[in-house]
Structure 1
Amino acid sequence: MAGESESRVSTSVIVVGVDGSPDSGVALDWATAEARGRKADLAIVYGLWMPMTAIAFGDASVLPLAEDVHGYGQLVLDAARERVTEQAPDLNVTTSLLMRRPDDALLQVADDGAELIVVGSRGLGGVGSLALGSVSTRVAARASCPVVVVPPGSRHLDGAIVVGVDGSEHSDAALRFALARGRDEQTEVVAVSAYRAPFLPLQDVDPETMSVVGAEERRLALEALHQAVDRARQAIGGPVDVSVRLEEGHPADVLLDLGRDAALLVVGSRGRGPVRSLLLGSISQAVLHQAAGPVAVVRAAPA
């Protein structure tokens, strides 16, 4: 099949998934600008997976790949290459048409050292969050490299990079990614953490004690946030402009509010391991489903 020989990529490559939908075109444009800015190669991937059919009281089977469907896939890749060439004529572009489920195809191509995977939040079957769960979330949860999910209407902006911090190994990885990007692009990074004052029954605690407890909770949260930023600074090296924001509230709500005008919103993954049922954490899921701009999901390296 055309493109199978190009299913492995080297370093300094950005992998982007397409399927011919308008939303995948938005993701392609974002990935093109990203590759051009980073002087990286661009690998365009179309995972062509036929619907499953069930034999009565028997095993499931996969419909054979029809020539017209294969031809459509190649047309999509050809059009994607032309679209990239119009925007970035000097960009090195490869295409891969794989008979794989789209998330599996993207992960296969990216498995040999890609620095980033870019996907749209919806595709041809796009019904909002239903389609998001079937491709984008699975890629974000399983990929070893960062994954950027680009919703409709997104484009490269000049705003800050906003990253969620909660002290976990995944948020530490997200913070290192955000700071390294801020350093390379000379862009401000806003490290955001959310906290909630502990619940104390009113009949047992006087208002003054509640105020003291709340202030201590905030102090500890702010201290942990600064410590996380210091760890990330030491890990990446080089100067980077970082500010911190500590807000009371639900983490997803705080991130979405502060990240409305961000160039990129960065969150850590909560993957459970390299298995098919692997899921993102609830905060990552909520941010992916509701963010108006691109979201990067970063996983911590295996121990």
Structure 2
Amino acid sequence: MSGPVVVGVDGSASSLAAVEVAAREARLRGAALRVVHAFLWPALHVPLGPSPLGPPDGGLRNLADRVVAEAVARARTAEPDVEIGQVVVSGEPLTVLEAQSRAAELVVVVGSRGMGGFVGLLLGSTAVHLAAHGACPVLVVREEPRPDGPVVLGVDGSAAGRKAVDFAFAEAFLRGAPLVALHAWTTWNAPMPAPSDPSAPYANPPGTRAGTEERLSAEALAGRREHLPGVAVEHRVVHGGTREALIEASGSAQLLVVGARGRGGFTGLLLGSVSQAVLHHARCPVAVVRGADEDR
């Protein structure tokens, strides 16, 4: 049996929206849903129970239980047939959700600041941290998901991006949605051959580089259609910036899928510039999938 879909909640309206998305993802996968609240206060050694002068249901521990109960109720309303578990774990959210990701099929987090964010921060630190360090794919809910539109996949042809390709095909199949495999290139992000190579970009006849990039995109998707023949795939190769192309495509998508770090990434950099850009600016939920070489 596969692991659960895990969703982190903090009592904010945006985290409740993420709960509905997570419940739907659990239903699509036939998986259980686990609602997780990171309870930081015990580590700070503050009183957790109700005040002697206050109501009996007061106190930080009761508040944490109410946060989880509200989230579970929202999930049951959204997807009544999904098995739902709940847990309050002592610790800060980054550590708690990273640990939960090790046994999960998917972790869903909010893309806004939540209850603990700083004014002016475009994306919560929990979402960025999990996208870089999570042991399973991480779905960041930025805006209200749309029920239609394609699944858009950022394709760069790298070995690190193969898991993202598999994840995107599976998501399109589960959702009954078409898949748009988008590959954007410029002379700066295309692979650079050795200077002695006569096929170097500056020696290429016009149009040769575009053809090379189209073949690279097609090779990255080779074999997937045979396993999931019901998925309609559109190849889209554009000459331009990857970040800009993916953000524009997200405007009509129900999901955007990217690898954590792709072609041209710096060794040791867990989250590449493209994935960071779409996490901050995409107009639909974003799934970040770490490659096999990035798994610990």
- TM norm structure 2: 0.82
Alignment of 1:1-303 (within 5 A): 11-50=2-41, 63-67=44-48, 68-112=59-103, 114-122=104-112, 123-127=114-118, 130=121, 132-152=123-143, 154-197=144-187, 213-233=205-225, 236-270=227-261, 279-302=270-293
* Unaligned residue ranges in structure 1 (runs of 5+): 1-9, 52-61, 200-208, 272-276
Kindly indicate whether the alpha-carbon contact (under 8 Å) linking 1:47 and 1:98 is maintained by their aligned counterparts in 2.
yes
In structure 1, give the amino acid aligned to 2:217: L
Q: Secondary structure at the match of 2:222?
A: helix
Q: Secondary structure at the match of 2:115?
A: coil
Q: What is the deviation of 1:50?
A: 4.3
Q: What is the deviation of 1:286?
A: 0.2
Against the structure 1 CA distance between its residues 250 and 131, is the aligned structure 2 distance closer, same or farther, given a 3 Å change threshold? closer
Kindly indicate whether the alpha-carbon contact (under 8 Å) linking 1:33 and 1:156 is maintained by their aligned counterparts in 2.
no
* Unaligned residue ranges in structure 2 (runs of 5+): 49-58, 190-200, 263-267
In structure 1, give the amino acid aligned to 2:175: E
In structure 2, give the amino acid aligned to 1:289: H
In structure 1, give the amino acid aligned to 2:249: L
Number of equivalenced pairs: 267
Kindly indicate whether the alpha-carbon contact (under 8 Å) linking 1:125 and 1:131 is maintained by their aligned counterparts in 2.
no
Q: What is the deviation of 1:48?
A: 2.0
Q: What is the deviation of 1:231?
A: 4.7
Q: What is the deviation of 1:238?
A: 4.1
- TM norm structure 1: 0.80
Kindly indicate whether the alpha-carbon contact (under 8 Å) linking 1:18 and 1:24 is maintained by their aligned counterparts in 2.
yes
Q: Cα RMSD over matched residues?
A: 2.7
In structure 2, give the amino acid aligned to 1:64: H
Q: Distance in 2 between matches of 1:279 and 1:129?
A: 24
Q: Secondary structure at the match of 1:137?
A: helix
- In structure 1, the partner of 2:193 is none
Against the structure 1 CA distance between its residues 46 and 162, is the aligned structure 2 distance closer, same or farther, given a 3 Å change threshold? same
Q: Distance in 2 between matches of 1:48 and 1:76?
A: 11
Kindly indicate whether the alpha-carbon contact (under 8 Å) linking 2:260 and 2:275 is maintained by their aligned counterparts in 1.
yes
Kindly indicate whether the alpha-carbon contact (under 8 Å) linking 2:182 and 2:235 is maintained by their aligned counterparts in 1.
yes
Q: Distance in 2 between matches of 1:212 and 1:38?
A: 46
Kindly indicate whether the alpha-carbon contact (under 8 Å) linking 1:129 and 1:289 is maintained by their aligned counterparts in 2.
no
Kindly indicate whether the alpha-carbon contact (under 8 Å) linking 1:156 and 1:263 is maintained by their aligned counterparts in 2.
yes
Kindly indicate whether the alpha-carbon contact (under 8 Å) linking 1:30 and 1:156 is maintained by their aligned counterparts in 2.
no
In structure 2, give the amino acid aligned to 1:258: A
Q: What is the deviation of 1:239?
A: 4.0
Q: Distance in 1 between matches of 2:73 and 2:150?
A: 31
Kindly indicate whether the alpha-carbon contact (under 8 Å) linking 1:36 and 1:91 is maintained by their aligned counterparts in 2.
yes
Per-residue CA deviations over 1:160-198 (Å, capped at 9, x if unaligned) read 100001111232211111112223333211100111146
- Give percent identity, aligned residues only: 35
